[in-house]
């Protein structure tokens, strides 16, 4: 199934693979998705929606085996403080539901911040904009497609 995210990549001439998996609405974790698509969690990136006190809404894209470091994201984005938005705001802001959020072809082009760890991989996986489908592509192609700023924004899970 072609999603808006895949269509965006098609328009930009970026090579990718769509990989589908069975969705468990009770477990939308990146670790679970990684197991289903046959990749380590370090290669399956989750897209979080956050809000900076200066920059406003932004996307933070971090590996599934780590968590967002809000202080590091604030430094990179030029904010004093950054917080993940409440779940109820995600769909109105992005057009995507939890488990299907992607910076690719979102409702609005918010700034995107990609964790620097992405460059360690030949391929990374991000949501295709729907639950049950991931897009696999080269990290540099993803960064170019979403015009991501790259920096250290993830930390080991507590």
Cβ neighbors of 47 (< 8 A, separation 6 or more) are 59, 60, 61, 101, 102, 103, 126, 127
Residue-wise DSSP of 60-73: EEEETTEEE-HHHH
Cβ neighbors of 92 (< 8 A, separation 6 or more) are none
pLDDT digits (tens, 9 = 90+) for 16-53: 999 999 999 899 999 999 999 999 999 999 999 999 99
- pTM, 2 dp: 0.96
In this predicted structure, what is the pLDDT of residue 80?
A: 97
For strands 149-151 and 112-115, give the pairing.
parallel
> Which residues are registered as beta bridge partners of 61?
47, 114
Full set of structural domains in the chain with CATH: 4-156 (3.90.960.10)
In this predicted structure, what is the pLDDT of residue 158?
A: 78
Q: How confident is the model at residue 1 (pLDDT cuts 50, 70, 90)?
A: confident
């Amino acid at each position: 199934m072609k999603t808006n995210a895949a269509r965006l990549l098609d328009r930009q001439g970026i090579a990718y693979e769509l990989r589908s998996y069975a969705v468990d609405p009770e477990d939308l974790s990146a670790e679970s998705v990684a197991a289903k698509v046959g990749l380590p969690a370090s290669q399956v990136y989750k897209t979080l929606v956050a809000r900076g006190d200066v920059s406003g809404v932004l996307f933070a894209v971090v590996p599934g085996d780590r968590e967002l470091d809000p202080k590091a994201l604030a430094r990179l984005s030029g904010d004093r403080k950054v917080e993940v938005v409440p779940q109820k705001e995600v769909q109105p802001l992005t057009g995507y539901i939890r488990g299907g959020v992607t910076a690719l072809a979102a409702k609005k082009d918010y700034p995107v911040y990609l964790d620097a760890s992405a460059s360690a991989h030949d391929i990374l996986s991000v949501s295709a904009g729907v639950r049950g489908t991931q897009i696999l592509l080269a990290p540099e192609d993803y960064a170019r497609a979403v015009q991501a700023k790259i920096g250290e924004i993830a930390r080991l899970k507590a």
